[in-house]
Structures are given as C-alpha cells and as structure tokens.
Structure 1
Amino acid sequence: MALSIVSVPSLHANNSPTTSFTLSPLVVTATTTEQNQADSLVSVTVIDRDAVNKQQPQELSELLASQPGIDIVTNGGYGKSTSIYTRGSSSTGTKLLIDGVPIQSHSTGSSSWQYLPMFQVERIEIVRGPKSSLYGSSAAGGVVQVFFPEASQETQANVSLGGGSFNTQQASASVSGLSGDASYLLSVGTFETDGTVVKEHAGDMGYSNDNIFTRLGYEFDSGAYAKVFIMRAEGQSDYTTSTGSLRSNDFVNQAIALTSGVDLTEDWQSEIQLRESRDDSDVLNDKGVKTNSYFYSRSRGVRWSNTLSQSNHKLVFGAEHIQDDFEGSYTKERTSKGVFAQSLSQFGQASAQLNIRADRYDEYDTQTTGGVALGYQIDDVYSVRASWRTSFTAPTFNSMNAENWGYTLTNEIRPETSESFEVGLRGDYQNSYWDVAVFQADYHDLITWNYPTVGNIESARVRGLELSTGLQIEYWSFALAATIMDTENLSAGAEKGNRLARRANKSARIDVDRHFANSTLGFTVASYGERYDDAKNSALLAGYGVLNLRASYDFATDWSAELSIKNALDKEYQTAKDFLNPGRGVFLTLNYSAF
C-alpha cells in the first residue's frame, strides 16, 4: 500500500510555510563527504532537525525505535542500560559517533546510548551495513552519527523549561552567534525524573542528567579553519541488583574534538582531528556512598583525512591512531593504527564506490576490511544500487578478562568479522520517495556470554528486507519504515538453527504530522514483533506497539509550547526479560527564543 501511495508523481504542491520536510537531505556519514541521500550507494536513514523537534524526544532510543534495521533493548525506563542492534549484529556492532567522535565503553564494547542529551541535537544519520572500511572496529552492523548544530549566523538565545509525568523536570539554555571570523555556541541543560518501576516490586528508579555543549570556530583569511567541540553529560541512574539491592550509576559521558582543515590546493582538502572520549561509571550504594565497583573508559585518537576532487571523481584517504585505556576491576590499554582509502566515481548514469582499510592492534593480526558499491540512475525517478562490504569488531576488554568473574573461555577470544551483500531500489518524485533494500549479512566469531562460558560462536546469518517511504501532500507529511528480518545461528551444537537473541523478526514505524499556520499535530506508531531473550530460544518476549502523540503551538512572538504523550495507550511491554518499560507519560515544554 505504501508503495502504491508514493509511486505516483506529486499530487499537490507544497505550500506550507511551517515545515522543512526534506525528501533527500545531505548526508556525510556514508562517505565522510557530502552527498544527497538519494545518491548514496548504501542504505541511509536521516532524521533531520524538523523531525527531531516534532518528536520531542527525551532519549535517543525514541528516535531510533523501529527505524529500518534497528532493534532496541532497554533494561527499563529513563537512563537505563540500552543496546542497539543494527541488521542483526551484536550490541557492539553499531558505532556511535558524536560529531565524528566515537564514544563507547571499552569494557562492554557498546555505547551508553541512554545518557546522550537530546537538547540541541541537530540531525541523526543511520548508515546500515558494515562501515569498518571507513571507521574501523565496531561498525559491523552500521553507524549512528549524532550531529549538534553549528553556530548561527546571527546572535541567538534560547531557553526551554518543561516537566510532566514521573515528576520529570527539564531546563536548557543556549546562546550562539558570530564575532568577526569567530563563531560560538554554548548550551547547558538539566533533566531529572523520579523514573518508573523497572522491575516488579522494586519501586521507581530515578535518573538525572546535567549536560553542557559548546562549539568554537575560527575561519582564517586563507580559507583554513579551526574548531573545538565539547559535549559532557554527567548524572546518576538508579537500578536494582539481582538480589534486590538499590544501586546507582554515577556516570560521565564526554566527547572532545579539536579539528583543523585547510585547502592544500584547489582540489585537495586536508583535515586533522585530535579527539578524546570518556565513558565512566561509579556504582553507589543505597546511601549514596561509592562501592568498589567502577570503570573509567577513555579513548584518545588522531585522524588525518584528505579529499582529492577531480571532475566526477573523489579520492578520500588518511590514517588514524587510537589509544584505549580502561581502569576498573582490572586495568588494560590497547593501541591501534589504521590507514584507509576510498574512491567515489561517476560515469554518466553509473556510479561506483570502493573502500579499503587496514587496522593493526597490539593483540592480534592486522584486520583488513573493504567494500564495493555500484549504482545506476535508470531515469529521472528510479535508481538501483548493489554493494558488498566487510567489517570487524575488536573483542571487548570484558570478554578478554571474563575469567575475573568466574567464566571459562571456550577459546582465545578472536575479533568478530562479517561480510554483507545488499541490493536496493529507489524512486524519487517531487514530493515523495520510496526505498527498498534486501540484504544478507554473514557474521563470524560472534562473541557470546552463556554462563559459565564465554567465547566465539562459529557463524550466524541474517537476511532482511527494509522499506522506507516519505510523502507530503499540502500540509500533511507521512513517513513509513518497515523491516522483516530472519536471523539464524549456524554454529554446530544444540543452538544451531536458533534465532539470535534479542533480535525482533519484524518492525514497523509510521509518522504522521499535520502542519497549520502556527501549530502542528502528529503521532508516531512504533512496533516490534516477537523476539527471544536468550540464545537457547526458551524465553520468548511478545511483540508490541507504542503510540506517541504530539502537538506544538507558536502562541506568541518568540514563544512556543510543545505537548507530548508518550506511550499514549499505556502499553505494558518488555524488550529484556523482567525489565518493565515506562507507561503513559504526559510532558509539556515552553520555549523562548531571543534576538
């Protein structure tokens, strides 16, 4: 039905002055260079600022829910442990970038998705399928990059106050502008909630997050530039142990980058980035006193990237050096060095993308990854693409030290590897588009924890179909995403033929918004099919659907109000066994913009 709706030319011109609906926005994550989403040779989803503002998210998982190829598992409500699975990869196989800075815990190998402050988020890009050939380890399933805004061209200040269910309170303020050749943006925010019941009879689990974001930039007369980016979030998130004791994570999540670029020639742009990220946690007892459980995870890196442009061809090449450090119940550090190259070529209606990268780690042999993607513009409307890509994920520090917690290693832990094939077809019209992709991903040496053992399983296979569409008719905007996915453990043993744990067999998402002169009304339905919570396929979690309602109103000059009802039907559901997600929540936010 969705295909039949969007496979016709535009029915009405877009006359709405209140929407910036974009059918083919610019993306950079897929290639590190700007290109239209419609021209990408790999599957990409873009959540632009208009969509972010309309959905009024309090956590990143709200925006990612039921997007093509994305599975989300949370241990309860606000600020609780969250895992992202892209195209059936493990929870360590989706790389999170914050304005180009990777951020993750080297103990678990996954990112603290739940702690990312949503105020000031400008745009989100989701690249599906392996991208190790550009970004190194932890991109077997894909990459999610979150962008914060650049400084505004004119002085601008914003203040936001909100609150609602679960005794939730939030406040934020920002100022941005230019001063000669210098630009600046400073934002501060706070979010606090009593939370909801995460486990039965355990009481509400609170969460707080205080955050700051700043960006400074300077443009030289020569065209060179330098910019500094800092994002820091810190706070506490309550949880209960398996024995019922109350604990709290005292966390710090931070990303810092200093980036400088220059045009070496008319056709050669060069950029170097120095960066550091932190993912720290101290466990507090029910009295707020630190226990002996903690981890401090830090990554420092330098990335040198170059882009050579000539007619219809681009060459991207560079090198990267990364130092990872971890301190907790054990201490460990790791160094890696990588070199990469990418070519982008246009030959009339045909296009090609070639990638290769080599990463050398201290502990094991060089990991070489690559990819080939081909595309063809059939006519002004239809285009087709096909790709083959490989990837790898370095073992987590925890898996390499699992014996510290009484586990037995079934083998010397090896890096996870994958290869993926994809074919896609897309149609672009004046006010609508559709995109269909079929893929197969073969994963090798996936690291699994199954007490009392931890080790690599031989292989797993994931096959899937993804659909996304967008349509605008006058003041209405519609978006639909759907995924059908089949996962299978191919390793020898009792679990051969089982579905991979925590991956849903299907998902769908519908976004509908109606734009008026100074207000909007909209809703989102996000749903997932059933999934197993364990590798043995003995714990089946039922499928579910969640309805979110929203409205916004510009009630005076420089003033606006936003109302959202999350989980409006008060649906009870679990994405991890025995962990309850929040029920219905009503939230109101007031915004003021100055200058």
Structure 2
Amino acid sequence: MKNFDSFSLEGTSARACARFPVAAVALAALTLSQSAVAQDARMPTTVVTATRSETKLDETLADVRVITQEQISNSAGRSLAEVLQRFAGVQMSSNGGRGNTQSVSIRGSKQVILLVDGVRFGSVTDGSPSLSSLPLESIERIEVVHGPASALYGSDAIGGVIQIFTKQGKGAKQAFAPYASATVGQSAYKDASAGFAGAQQGWNYSLNVARVLDPGFSSTNAKSGSFNADKDKYHQTSVTAALGYAFNDAWRLDANLMRADGYAEFDNGATKASWVDSDAGTGQLKLTGKVNDIWTTSLSTSSSSDKLRSYDRALATKVLTDSLYQTKQKEYKWSNEFKTPVGIAIAGVERLEQKVNSTTEYDKTKRTTDAVYAGLNGSYDRHSWQVNVRSDDNSQFGRFETWGIGYGFQLLPSLRAYASRGKSINAPTFNQLYWPADPMWGGGGNPNLQPEEGRNTELGLHWTLDGHAFKLARFDNKVSNLIVWGTTVENIDHARMKGWSLGYSKSLDTWQFAASYDYLDARDSLGERITRRMPKQQATVSVDKTWGAWKLGANALYVGNRTDLFGYPSKKVVLKSYATLDAYAEYKFAKEWAVQARVANLTDKEYETAYGYNQRGRAGYLTLKWSPR
C-alpha cells in the first residue's frame, strides 16, 4: 500500500544542541526496567543477528536487545509492534488495534529490515516491515539490532534489523514434547495455540498452530476523517513447522515454514464497511555442513510473500470494491564461516528477487539484487573487533558498497568501551518510484530517485558485575539523499539522528529488575526537529518475581510528546505523552499446568500513537497453559 510515513520535514523552531536529560539518567540509574543488555536467567547467551555468526551477547560491538519467549508469553493481547516497543525500545505507531497498519522506527529511522528465521520479509511497495501479518503466538524469541547493518544485510538497514525466530523445536530432548495454551479476555477475546517438538534418530521436527479471535474496538475516533464508531474485529490463523535431518555429525538439512491468514476490519467512514484479508508466509530449505575443522558452509533457498486484499462496501448501494497489494521475495544464499587465528571470518554471495503484484499499475514490478559480503569478528586479550564489507548490484540503481568497522577495549575486568563507524544504504521503494499520480492531487512517484545513504558513528560502554549490567550508547547517524513525499517524491539534502540509549538490569535471587531509556534528537537539513510519530524520550520499567509456584510481574512504558500530520493541506498536530502499565500473575497449580491472569493498560489510559486512531484501554486476560515434561 501507499505509505507516507517516511521522513517528514516538519518540526518546531531550531534549538541549540539538546542536552542529555539529567533527570532521565538519574531515573534510569535508580529504577530498573526492561533492556536486553545483560545475560540473565531468561535470556539467550548468544545472538546471531549482529554478526551473522554466534556471538556472546555481552561481547557484541552493537546495541542488541533480545525479547524472550517468556516476555512474549506474558504479553497476551498485545500486538508484535507493542511487544517490540515495550521490550526492545523501538518507536511504534499504529492505526488502531491488532491487524491494522503498524510501523516501527529504530533510532528515528523507519528503514528497518525484518527477518523471519533469516528470511527477508516485508513489503517492497511501501518498504516497511509487515509486522501486523506475523503471528505473535508462533514466535520463540526476537533479536533487535539498533543501528545501521547494511554491511551485513544490504539495503533498508539504516535504522537497524529485527529478526524473528519462530518455534522450531531445535534441541528437543525427547521424541514427542507437546504443549498448549488457551486465553480468554475482555469483550470475548480468545486465542489458543498448540504444538509439539521432538528429536530422534537424527531427525528433529516441530509444529505449532495458533488461532486469535479479537472483537477489537473502534480503530478511529471523532478527530479522524474516517471515523466509524463500530468495533473493528481481527481474526488470524497461523502455522509454523520445521523438519531437519542430520546425515552425520557434520552435515544436516533443515526446512521450515510459516503461514498466517488474517482478517482485519478498519474504519473508512460511517457509510462504508471496510476490511482486509491478509496472507503472509515464509519458507526455507537449508543445507549446512562442516567441510573441515575450520570451515562451515551453508546453501539455502527461501521465499516470502506478503499479500493484502482490501475491501470497501458502500452500505447504501452494497457496491463492493477491492484492491490488491502483494510482495513476493526469493533469496538464494551461499554462506561460509571460517575459524581463523584472528577471529571468525564470514563470506558469502546472495541473490534477492523482488516482485510486486497489484491492482495498482506500477511502471515496473520486478527487480533483483546480487550481493557479495565478507566480515571478521574476533577478540584477543583486552581487544575486540568487527569488520564487514558488502557490495550490492541492484538492477534499478547499479552497484553500491557498504561497510562497517568496530573496535572494543576492556578498560577493566567488568567494563568495556567500544566505537563503531559504518555506511548504510536504502533503495527507494516501488511506491516512491512508480506510484501513479492522482489527476487532482498529484503525489505520484519519481523514477529518478537515488538511494539514501547513511553514515553512522556509535560510542558505547558495557559494565557487568555480580549480576548487574549497565549499557550506555551514543549514536550519530547522518542520512543524505533523503527521500521525502510531498506533492511528489524527491531526494533532498539530509537528516541527522543523534541520541543516547541507556539500560540497566539486575538479577537478584528470585527477582529480575531492568530499565531502559532512549533519547532521540532527529533534525532535518534546516535544523528543524523531526518529530512525526517519533518521541524525543521513551523509557520502560519492569519487575519480575518468582515465589514458589507463583510468578508475578509488571511493566511500565513512558512515551514523550510527538507530532503527526492531519488533513489536506497537511497541518501539524501534537500527540501527547503517555504512560501505560501492564501486570500479570501466574500460578503453577500442577506439574504440567499453570494459569496466568494479566491486565493490559491497568490505568485505562487514553492515548494515540497516530492522530485520530484509538489504542486499547484496560483489558484483562486469563490463560491456561499445559506443558508436559
């Protein structure tokens, strides 16, 4: 679909350089909120997204945050975008409830790559991650890299990378391990999921099926030109499956797939009934093997599809109109990893084929990108390093090179400093290039656009001691050839996104405490602040406690003031700051059974992440979990 949510050149009058808020630093140092900056009992000890090879989380030279299965399980009723906001510090906006259009930004940039089990997924028409299509109930964990990663993954990674790992049952210790859960909630909300995992005689396998029935709420309010007071319901059915076979200790073949079918209603005025049918899917076949003691290689082929068919029925005449937007992407990869005296070296080649199928007529509907990349990630004594280079040959824009370099130094046994510098790239989307102009309003695409280019510098400190973990990062990302959409689409000078990320966590016996704070100063080339749907300040706080058979927890989110655009011609409106609180309690009443009660938005706060669009008020959920051992 057409997307007008790229960088906007609105802003308040220029100010002097913003100071890092002392009050926020003190708050984050004294409170404990959710930030994946340390290894604790709930967190994987290794990540792969930041380097494309397994790396200990506290040894990465990047701001990486991990969302665990337990955090996802404790978020019944929330959307994927909301989970990313609360547990990974991304900025989020949503046109209503779950199933409606949602977008995320990382460090002020909407140019973010979304991977599902390593497979690129999203819309090449509007260039945004297709978050609303992904089934939250099928996700095992999420890794979020804050900061450019084009040297690893190519175009679109100016803001960062989000990688979703679905439930695949790898590492299962028995031949058949089933599980199931069912949730009921306020206003007839229901969801259920069930599956199994297992391994035997060289085989591993898993299957997960989920169903969500959400009666929803009115996605708009009276401020919106599309207002309709009816409830906008959302339904989704999803399945994920994986099958693998180890031929011997060195070679194995893996296949996995994800499929989700959804139905979501949205408001388009009181005289119309409007809804979207969505079909999303990914699939991958991968052969991995150890050629020798130092060389591991893999060959893979994968595909993803994101299909949206939108319907409008005029209530007076019953006339039905529809529109189709479908993105298909195919990838072919040869990846290699080498153990060397100076670290883990990676090298590979990739081919990406993108295709658009739509009722909207685009001048071009296909493009390909061929890429080669190499990198090195290692450490010695008190020093650590990461170097990556990549070359992409795009059929529309030709060849462009990206790179990244990072260095870390262990100042003290518990304190490490790092610095990184890199170049990122973002190719224009099909909408930005070929969207047909409206005869009255204009607003068409521009086939002469050039890719955006980013230059990012980051400085950071990591401190870990006796269960404490503290992380501070300073980033400065300048994006040139900025693409903006007004009466037409054009490249302009640049924008600059600067800011700070601060996090703290602590594991203490049966308590888990954590905190995060993000500060963003985004400005256009005239020095005006870019604030459209992007807060200057955002913070989260969470506490979890295990007490015998009980688990208790709470999570709070604060989002500062933002702006939005409304009407034609567009005028700037203010989105007020807000704070919300979620809480849960879980009781394991038998060896294989547990029950959880959860309340979202406990204070029933009314707030907007997009002007004229509602968000869910207070809602309660009750979940029954079955997990035999």
Aligned pairs for 1:577-592 (under 5 A) are: 577-592=611-626
Paired with 2:251 and 2:376, the residues of 1 have a C-alpha distance of 24
1:409–1:109: structure 2 CA closer, same or farther, 3 Å change rule? closer
Residue 356, structure 1, aligned to residue 354, structure 2: no
Paired with 1:543 and 1:115, the residues of 2 have a C-alpha distance of 28
Match of 2:453 among 408, 417, 422: 417
Letter in structure 2 aligned against 1:319: V
Aligned pairs for 1:441-520 (under 5 A) are: 441-450=477-486, 452-490=487-525, 497-520=528-551
1:573–1:290: structure 2 CA closer, same or farther, 3 Å change rule? same
Partner SS for 1:63: helix
Question: CA offsets per residue over residues 479-530 of structure 1, 9 Å max, x none?
Answer: 1010111110115xxxx52424221100000111111111111111011101
1:45–1:319: structure 2 CA closer, same or farther, 3 Å change rule? same
Partner of 2:219: 198
Partner of 1:39: 59
Which stretch shifts more, 300-309 or 115-124?
A: 115-124
Residue 321, structure 1, aligned to residue 351, structure 2: yes
CA contact (8 A) 1:68 1:466 kept: no
Partner of 2:340: 310
Paired with 1:485 and 1:66, the residues of 2 have a C-alpha distance of 17
Partner of 1:217: 244
Residue 240, structure 1, aligned to residue 267, structure 2: yes
CA contact (8 A) 1:502 1:534 kept: no
| RMSD, aligned α-carbons | 2.2
Match of 1:137 among 141, 148, 155: 155
Aligned pairs for 1:107-126 (under 5 A) are: 107-126=125-144
Partner SS for 2:187: helix
Paired with 2:391 and 2:409, the residues of 1 have a C-alpha distance of 29
Paired with 1:428 and 1:359, the residues of 2 have a C-alpha distance of 38
1:206–1:371: structure 2 CA closer, same or farther, 3 Å change rule? same
1:130–1:573: structure 2 CA closer, same or farther, 3 Å change rule? same
Residue 335, structure 1, aligned to residue 368, structure 2: yes
TM-score by length of 1: 0.93
Residue 298, structure 1, aligned to residue 328, structure 2: yes
CA contact (8 A) 1:499 1:537 kept: no
Match of 1:562 among 576, 596, 601: 596
Match of 1:279 among 306, 309, 321: 306
- 5+ unaligned residues in a row in structure 1: which ranges? 8-13
Question: CA offsets per residue over residues 204-257 of structure 1, 9 Å max, x none?
Answer: 111111000001011111510111110010111111226752211100111111
Question: CA offsets per residue over residues 63-85 of structure 1, 9 Å max, x none?
Answer: 21155652101001111111011
Paired with 1:166 and 1:111, the residues of 2 have a C-alpha distance of 29
Match of 1:440 among 455, 458, 476: 476
Partner of 2:465: 429
Partner SS for 2:205: strand
Partner of 2:580: 546
Paired with 1:429 and 1:5, the residues of 2 have a C-alpha distance of 17
Partner SS for 1:438: strand
Partner of 1:397: 430
Aligned pairs for 1:154-165 (under 5 A) are: 154=174, 155-165=176-186
Paired with 2:419 and 2:88, the residues of 1 have a C-alpha distance of 17
Paired with 1:57 and 1:121, the residues of 2 have a C-alpha distance of 14
1:330–1:351: structure 2 CA closer, same or farther, 3 Å change rule? same
Question: CA offsets per residue over residues 388-409 of structure 1, 9 Å max, x none?
Answer: 0111111111111123443245
Partner of 2:7: none
CA contact (8 A) 2:82 2:92 kept: no
How far did residue 348 of structure 1 move? 1.7
Letter in structure 1 aligned against 2:610: A
Paired with 1:263 and 1:134, the residues of 2 have a C-alpha distance of 22
1:397–1:156: structure 2 CA closer, same or farther, 3 Å change rule? same
Which stretch shifts more, 268-277 or 407-416?
A: 407-416
Partner SS for 2:432: helix
TM-score by length of 2: 0.88
Paired with 2:416 and 2:27, the residues of 1 have a C-alpha distance of 18
Paired with 2:515 and 2:208, the residues of 1 have a C-alpha distance of 33
How far did residue 6 of structure 1 move? 9.5
Paired with 1:141 and 1:21, the residues of 2 have a C-alpha distance of 26
Letter in structure 1 aligned against 2:554: F
Paired with 2:270 and 2:402, the residues of 1 have a C-alpha distance of 44
CA contact (8 A) 2:263 2:275 kept: yes
- 5+ unaligned residues in a row in structure 2: which ranges? 1-25, 33-38, 222-227
How far did residue 116 of structure 1 move? 1.4
Paired with 2:187 and 2:518, the residues of 1 have a C-alpha distance of 33
May I ask how many residue pairs the two structures share in their alignment?
577
CA contact (8 A) 1:559 1:593 kept: yes
Letter in structure 2 aligned against 1:320: E
Partner SS for 1:64: helix
Paired with 2:571 and 2:462, the residues of 1 have a C-alpha distance of 36
Partner of 2:12: none
Residue 380, structure 1, aligned to residue 413, structure 2: yes
How far did residue 358 of structure 1 move? 0.7
Paired with 1:311 and 1:522, the residues of 2 have a C-alpha distance of 45
Question: CA offsets per residue over residues 343-373 of structure 1, 9 Å max, x none?
Answer: 1132321111111101111111212110110
Letter in structure 1 aligned against 2:372: V
How far did residue 330 of structure 1 move? 2.2
Which stretch shifts more, 440-449 or 426-435?
A: 440-449
Match of 2:279 among 247, 252, 273: 252
Partner SS for 1:30: coil
Partner of 2:224: none
Partner of 1:11: none
CA contact (8 A) 1:458 1:490 kept: yes
Paired with 1:409 and 1:254, the residues of 2 have a C-alpha distance of 28
Letter in structure 1 aligned against 2:420: S
1:215–1:58: structure 2 CA closer, same or farther, 3 Å change rule? farther
Partner SS for 1:539: strand
Partner of 2:255: 228
Partner SS for 1:457: strand
How far did residue 120 of structure 1 move? 3.7
Paired with 2:626 and 2:129, the residues of 1 have a C-alpha distance of 33
* Identity across the alignment (%): 27
How far did residue 447 of structure 1 move? 2.1
CA contact (8 A) 2:437 2:444 kept: no
Match of 1:105 among 115, 123, 132: 123
CA contact (8 A) 2:434 2:444 kept: no
